[in-house]
């Protein structure tokens, strides 16, 4: 990767005894849309505040274009106003008593930019976010979506080195939120912005990001492009966070005929050929993860290779497809299926796995 715009090296931040960020490392490339995705309380906002200089790390280093901006061991801490970060918060944080123009101009005025330059930049930024012509409106005369655009324009007005976005769409209604995903992404591409984006919404992360770091308890558990994380999750946390998973336990078996996972409880076995069997030892207990859409439902009968027995517990009719709740191997999960074959509640069926599309994890 080219010189990272933002790099975290083993950064730790505590609040009293609580560990908000735990030896966090990641790097954002120039022009990259990089997203921190994780549940509430996992340390996303704290990470953005560390980048902005609103918090000081306890340990580790934060670099901007290769230069340390926070490093307790070297006694370095560059204050927020010297970092050129544009930040947009979940709550728009715009000033209700100011006009749209003055809201966007505020950071430029703080930096004592000449009036002509302020005007040019503010009008340019309002143009970028689709608010041209609204400069003289009072900020509170705008809709929620427009107010969020004002916040975005304010962050863009002084060409930040990095744009920091903390769940900026979460206060918008669903339809506008989806439209804004595309707008933000196309704006980022057009301006070649480096973006560090924070969300708990996996759909949002997958729709917009170049790369995603799935954060769990203050640490990125896996970093990659959306398809990598979805199809080859490094842990069940990542697998579950990015969508539905089917998880079963089994035992690794090796013989001259090949390697497989014995799913005793579900009465079947799954070939390990596509999963580098050398990683696992004979007799090792493992979990297999599959995406529901990679599993086929077949009528009951003798199980063949890569199949297990299951029982239909519930069926829901969803118009274009059916959703089955099935039990297998002592667990229940939900699988979608077409309408051609219909299995009634209580029916014994088989589930066929695609051994090329399963993830095997140590127990
Ligand atoms: N100023 C603070 N004082 C004490 N604890 C805090 C403070 N800010 C965040 N925390 C704690 O740090 C953890 C991470 O918080 P945060 O970064 O806000 O998570 P997220 O944005 O992912 O929801 C949480 O347990 C939170 O309670
Ligand atoms: Mg937060």
Report the pLDDT averaged over residues 138-158.
Answer: 89
Is the distance from the beta carbon of residue 199 to the nearest atom of ligand 1 less than 6 Å?
no
Task: List for the chain the helix, strand, coil content (%; round to 5).
Answer: 30, 35, 35
Q: Are 19 and 11 in contact (CB under 8 A)?
A: no
Render pLDDT for 301-346 as a digit per residue (tens, 0 to 9): 999 999 999 999 999 999 999 999 999 988 999 999 998 889 999 9
1 belongs to a structural domain: no
Would you say the C-alpha torsion 46, 47, 48, 53 has a positive or negative sign? positive
Q: Residue 92 pLDDT more than 80?
A: no
Residue nearest to ligand 1 atom 18, measured at CA:
45
Q: What is the pLDDT of residue 110?
A: 84
Average pLDDT score over residue span 232-255: 92
Q: Which residue segment(s) compose the domain that 315 sits in?
A: 246-362
Q: Is residue 219 part of a domain?
A: yes
Could you identify the atom of ligand 1 that is nearest to the CA of residue 167?
21
**39 C-beta closer than 6 A to ligand 1:** no
Whole-number pLDDT of residue 273 = 77
Kindly identify the ligand whose nearest atom is closest to the C-alpha of 54. Answer: 1
Cα-trace Rg, the chain: 25
Look at residues 241, 261, 282 and tell me which one is the last residue of a structural domain: 241
Indicate the pairing of strand 76-77 with strand 18-28. Answer: unpaired
Q: Is residue 304 part of a domain?
A: yes
Regarding whether 217 and 137 lie in a shared domain, the answer is yes
pLDDT at residue 277 tops 80: no
Q: Is the pLDDT of residue 263 over 70?
A: yes
Segment 184-213, tens digit of pLDDT: 999 999 999 999 999 999 999 999 999 999
> Residue 1 has what pLDDT?
66
How many angstroms is it from 39 CA to the middle of ligand 2?
9
Instruction: Give the percent of the chain with pLDDT over 70.
Output: 99
Q: According to the model, what pLDDT value does residue 174 have?
A: 86
Which ligand 1 atom lies nearest to the CA of residue 42? 22
CATH number where 217 lies? 3.40.50.300
Q: Which residue, 189, 220, 241, sits at the end of a domain?
A: 241
Q: Could you write out the DSSP letters of every residue in 207-251?
A: HH-SEEEEEETTEEEEEE-HHHHHHS-SSHHHHHHTS--EEEEEE
> Residue 227 C-alpha to ligand 2 middle, in angstroms?
25
Distance 184 CA to ligand 1 centre (A): 26
- CA nearest to 136, candidates 176, 98, 170: 98
Structure tokens at 342: 């219909």
Residues 264 and 168 placed together within one structural domain of the fold: no
State whether the beta carbon of 329 lies less than 6 angstroms from ligand 1: no
């Amino acid at each position: 990767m080219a010189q990272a715009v933002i790099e975290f090296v083993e950064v730790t931040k505590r609040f009293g005894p609580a560990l908000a960020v735990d030896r966090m490392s990641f790097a954002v490339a120039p022009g990259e849309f990089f997203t921190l995705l994780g549940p509430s309380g996992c340390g996303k906002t704290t990470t953005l505040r560390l980048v902005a200089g609103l918090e000081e790390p306890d340990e580790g280093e934060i670099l901007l274009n290769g230069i340390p901006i926070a490093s307790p061991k070297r006694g370095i801490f560059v204050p927020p106003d010297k970092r050129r970060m544009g930040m947009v918060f979940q709550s728009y944080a715009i000033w209700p008593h100011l006009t749209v123009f003055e809201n966007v101009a505020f950071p430029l005025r703080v930096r004592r930019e000449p009036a002509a330059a302020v005007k040019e930049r503010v009008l340019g930024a309002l143009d970028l976010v689709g608010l041209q012509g609204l400069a003289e409106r009072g900020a509170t005369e705008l809709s929620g979506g427009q107010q969020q655009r004002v916040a975005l324009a304010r962050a863009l007005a002084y060409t930040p080195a990095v744009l920091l976005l903390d769940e900026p769409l979460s206060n918008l209604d669903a339809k506008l939120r989806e439209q804004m995903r595309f707008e933000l992404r196309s704006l980022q591409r057009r301006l070649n912005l480096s973006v560090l984006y924070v969300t708990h919404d996996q759909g949002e992360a997958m729709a917009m990001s170049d790369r995603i770091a799935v954060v769990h308890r203050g640490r990125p558990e896996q970093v990659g492009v959306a398809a990598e994380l979805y199809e080859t999750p490094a842990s069940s946390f990542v697998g579950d966070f990015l969508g539905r998973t089917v998880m079963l336990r089994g035992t690794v078996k090796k013989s001259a005929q090949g390697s497989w996972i014995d799913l005793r409880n579900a009465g079947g076995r799954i070939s390990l050929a596509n999963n580098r069997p050398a990683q696992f030892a004979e007799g090792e207990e493992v979990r297999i993860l599959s995406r529901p859409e990679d599993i086929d439902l077949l009528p009951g009968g003798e199980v063949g290779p890569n199949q297990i027995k299951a029982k239909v517990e519930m069926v829901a009719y969803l118009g274009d497809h059916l959703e089955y709740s099935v039990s297998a191997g002592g667990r229940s999960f939900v699988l979608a299926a077409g309408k051609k074959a219909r299995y009634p509640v209580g029916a014994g069926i088989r589930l066929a796995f695609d051994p090329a599309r399963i993830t095997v994890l140590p127990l």
